[in-house]
């Protein structure tokens, strides 16, 4: 595992003070209401930064905004829509339907990654928000962000052939989506565990874990220390592991057993584990 970022205590207090002063609500409302895409992107990154240290009070402030001041669910819709719009562009670019402009491509990659990271920090080990990501009982309509994260992975990875074509930058995006799925379940959140276990994310994780053909720059290039291939496979394994965390029943086990080629998975894990230990 990568070392957890150590944030000085004064930096945590600054985030909490800003949140207590209403800055969380300001950013939340910008994301909900402001038509400027650029301003929404900035607000997304700032809110992500406020949540980065995992302060419970900041998570609670965001949850309070969602549950008490956003009955139409504009915030969740906005985050979903901006990820979907960027995904649509990336898929069209992959098919050659739009011109490859590096600046625009990077912007869409950044939008997806920062949005998934924001969602991850919002719900990580915070049960109320984890459940709210699946169903918003406090809203007139619900947006299932847990299912959306799984569908994103399914569309972006799609097949083993596509996985082999992804470069290190695209695999970073896959990791962001996987880490969001992990955060939805970690703690654990029993209902989200069942939800994810029955989702396309499981098949995507199986593809990642068992895949042995990787684009050269993804397999060999070093990013943040560990090889990209190991980082992606590690995140995929964690998705499966977190689905089983803390369960006293066999429901998730049975679902996973139905979806997996056990021998193929065992074979892949037997190869992967020693490699991970070397990192």
pTM of the predicted protein model: 0.86
* Per-run averaged pLDDT (10 residues), the chain, 279 residues: 49 79 95 92 94 91 95 94 94 80 89 96 97 93 96 88 81 96 97 97 90 62 58 92 94 87 59 54
CA distance 137 to 160: 37
The 3-class secondary structure across 45-60, one letter per residue, is: HHHHHHHCCCCHHHHH
pLDDT at position 273: 56
Identify the residue whose tokens are 């004064």: 10
pLDDT at position 223: 44
pLDDT at position 212: 73
For residue 127, how many other CB atoms are within 10 A of its CB? 14
Alpha carbon 166 to its chain centroid, in Å, reads 17
* 93-119 burial: b if 16+ Cβ within 10 Å, else e: bbeeeeeeeeeebebbbebbbbbbbbb
pLDDT at position 268: 56
All structural domains of the chain with their residue ranges: 15-143, 146-218+225-269
CB 219 within 8 A of CB 227: yes
pLDDT at position 169: 87
CA distance 236 to 181: 10
What residues are paired with 227 via a beta bridge?
Answer: 222
pLDDT at position 141: 86
**Bond from prior residue into 241 cis (ω within 30 degrees of 0):** no
CA distance 277 to 264: 21
């Amino acid at each position: 595992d990568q070392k957890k970022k150590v944030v000085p205590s004064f930096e945590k207090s600054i985030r909490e003070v800003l949140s207590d002063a209403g800055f969380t609500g300001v950013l939340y409302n910008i994301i909900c209401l402001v038509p400027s895409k650029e301003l929404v992107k900035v607000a997304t990154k700032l809110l992500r930064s406020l949540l980065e240290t995992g302060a419970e009070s900041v998570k609670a402030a965001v949850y309070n905004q969602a549950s008490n001041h956003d009955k139409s669910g504009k915030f969740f819709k906005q985050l979903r829509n901006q990820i979907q719009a960027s995904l649509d562009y990336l898929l069209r670019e992959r098919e050659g339907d739009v011109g490859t402009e590096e600046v625009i491509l990077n912007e869409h990659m950044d939008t997806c990654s920062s949005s998934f990271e924001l969602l991850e920090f919002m719900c990580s080990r915070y049960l109320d928000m984890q459940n709210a990501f699946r169903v918003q009982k406090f809203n007139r309509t619900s947006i299932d962000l847990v299912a959306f994260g799984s569908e994103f992975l399914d569309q972006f990875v799609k097949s083993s052939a596509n996985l082999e074509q992804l470069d290190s930058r695209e695999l970073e995006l896959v990791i962001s989506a996987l880490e969001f799925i992990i955060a939805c379940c970690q703690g654990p959140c029993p209902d989200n565990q069942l939800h994810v276990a029955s989702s396309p994310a499981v098949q995507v994780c199986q593809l990642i874990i068992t895949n042995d053909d990787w684009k050269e720059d993804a397999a060999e290039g070093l990013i943040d220390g560990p090889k990209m291939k190991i980082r992606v496979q590690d995140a995929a394994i964690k998705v499966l592991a977190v689905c089983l965390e803390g369960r006293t029943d066999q429901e998730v086990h049975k679902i996973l057993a139905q979806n997996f080629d056990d021998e193929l998975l065992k074979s892949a894990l037997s190869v992967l584990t020693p490699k991970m230990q070397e990192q």
